[in-house]
Every structure is written in C-alpha cells, then in structure tokens.
Amino acid sequence: MKVGLLLITHNRIGAELLETATATLNGCPLPTGVLPVSHAADPEQLLVQARAQVARLHTGAGVLVLTDIYGSTPSNIATRLLDTEPVIVVSGVNLPMLIRVLNYAELALADLAKKAVSGGYEGIVVST
C-alpha cells in the first residue's frame, strides 16, 4: 500500500506542478489526484469532490494533501478533510516539495509529510 497524494490548489497550479514533476521523474509512483479551485467555485461542492478523491486515493496508507497558500480556500478545504481517513495536509506546495514526495513514495504518511516540508524548505535558495 502506498500513500495517496492529492493536490488542492488555485486553478491549475496543482496540475501543472504534477505534470512537471512526473515528466522530470519519468512517471508517478503514487496514486494521485488534483482538485483545482477557481475563484468562482462553490467551496462546499469542492469539499464534496475532495472527500471523494480522498476516498479514492486512500488504499490503506492514508492521503497526503498538498495545498498552495495556508488560509486560502484550497487550504481551508484541505483542512476540513482532516476528520476523514488518515490525512495530513501540508501547505506551501512548490515543485521541489512535490519532487521530494514522489522520490520517497515508499514512506509512511507521517514520514512523507516530513519529507514534503523538508523538500519545500530546502528548495528555497537565495543567491546573491
């Protein structure tokens, strides 16, 4: 059993990140889903869709949900999933974070969430 991965982001950010990461890695080792959130969308309807995706992705190892901006509509939808299957939400998704997650697909949910955070953090570099 592998952890499921769900990206809940504004518009197509999640889809584009996933497409880029899987092209870079020549595949996707985790069951994945993407839920785009437009400004015109109904958050309650999106929550229903998110719950359905979590149910589909949860194969016994839980679901890691990555979202873009903490406190935004995608993040708020994601945090409402915490009362369902084993779910961990990490906000601030970026490409290094996603690639790190996909590179450590064999990890358990909590460990994979830690890898996500380290990948996101370590992927931010200031050059002067």
22-69 pLDDT tens trace? 999 999 999 999 999 999 999 999 999 999 999 999 999 999 999 999
| Residues 4-122, CATH architecture | 3-Layer(aba) Sandwich (3.40)
Which among 66, 106, 60, 122 has a CA at the least distance from the CA of 86?
Answer: 60
Residue 85 has pLDDT above 80, yes or no: no
pTM strictly above 0.75: yes
Q: Are 2 and 106 in contact (CB under 8 A)?
A: yes
Rounded Cα–Cα distance for residues 61 and 46 (Å)? 23
